[in-house]
Structure 1
Amino acid sequence: MSNLNALFDGVLKACAALAGTIFAAIAAMISVNVVLRNLFGSPVYGLLDAVEYGLLVATFLGAPWVLWKRGHVTVDLVTAALPGRLAAPLARLTALIGLAACAALVRYAGEAALISAQRGSMIRTAFVIPEWWVLAVAPLGFALLALEFLRQMVGRADRGRITAGL
């Protein structure tokens, strides 16, 4: 089991690295675009579309890593005040809810991507690309999130528990 966990950790790290690279490229491209627009009066054609797609992809790739690292925003006023014997089952319950929600979203997002591919739907903006290319990242991200929620549910529920700093 530890080999599977290590493999999954590696997948999450790779996704996070790719997401970080995309975010850095977006920041650089926007900066270049501002300079070109101000100095030469002409922005980079299609840059805004590329930024939109990049934000979508980076968010879905980075979210599972953030969940793994417990770096997401949480309201822990209640859970931080609970004794460990109550906090751990509550953490497992919230992981179960997250797992169920993400599993449902995998199904519906995957269905949307498949329908788009079957129909041959295209996105026609600055780029002309199959719509399913854009839609396919959602089921992937939700599947990784679901697996991480599953790991949190069956693993140590208090791993990385942060107490309130009030």
Structure 2
Amino acid sequence: MPNPEPSNKIPPRAVPVLDRIIDLFAGAAGVLLMLIMFLVSYLVMMRYFFGRPPGWVVEICQYMIFVLTFLGAPWLLRKRGHVAVDILLSCLNQKANEVIAIFTSLMGMMISFFLAWYAGRSTWQHFVEDIPVIEILRIPKALLLAFIPVSFLLLGLEFLRQANDHRRDLKETAAKAQENLDHMKGG
């Protein structure tokens, strides 16, 4: 099983900064979730007691759910909490698992960096053209979209860290295998 703790092999000063940013984003996602709970309760009370539910509450909650998804994704990846189908992996040895984990982490990194670039370009275009989201409230669409490139940038960096962790684990596995082989030859 891969080491779930973050490695300190990628620039030592960058790791704590990355961890703090990811933790800050996760905390903000938690705050948004609590705000959603309070706003939905407010909506229900206004509808039940006064028969006049405020229409803006549902829209604000939709925006907050959208944002909290992108705020929480890097933290979830760091904790390795994403869904994984490992039926095939359970049949392989540790070395093969580490090689596959390195490959999937590098693929995740490349895809995340590409999506960060693409989303950043789209966000900038929406900002320059001042495109709004028009529902009950009129807000700049770029404000919502801005969370996407930042989240994918953090996801890419976290995938890079995980690839590095798996590379280290692969080296350790190879060293242990060599040690066992040497021990068997010698004894």
- Fold agreement, TM-score > 0.5: yes
Q: How many matched pairs?
A: 159
- Which whole-Å CA distance do the structure 2 matches of 1:158 and 1:67 have between them? 19
Cα contact 1:29–1:47 (8 A) shared by 2: yes
- Match status 1:13 vs 2:14: no
CA contact (8 A) 1:88 1:158 kept: no
Other-structure match for 1:134: 144
Structure 2: segments with no counterpart, 5+ residues: 1-10, 170-187
Give the secondary-structure state (helix, strand or coil) at the position aligned to 1:155: helix
Give the distance between the partners of 1:100 and 1:66, measured in 2 at CA. Answer: 18
| Structure-to-structure mapping, 1:144-155, within 5 angstroms | 144-155=154-165
Alignment correspondent of 1:46: 56
Bigger-Rg structure (1/2) = 2
Segment of structure 1 superposing worse, 124-133 or 145-154: 124-133
Match for 1:86: what amino acid? Answer: A
RMSD over aligned Cα, in angstroms?
1.6
TM-score, normalised to structure 1's length? 0.89
Choose the corresponding residue for 2:43, options 7, 17, 33: 33
Number of the residue aligned with 2:65: 55
Runs (4+) of structure 1 exceeding 3 A deviation are: 156-159
Identity %: 32
Partner of residue 116, structure 1: 126
Per the alignment, residue 70 of structure 1 pairs with 80
Residue number in structure 2 paired with 1:2: 12
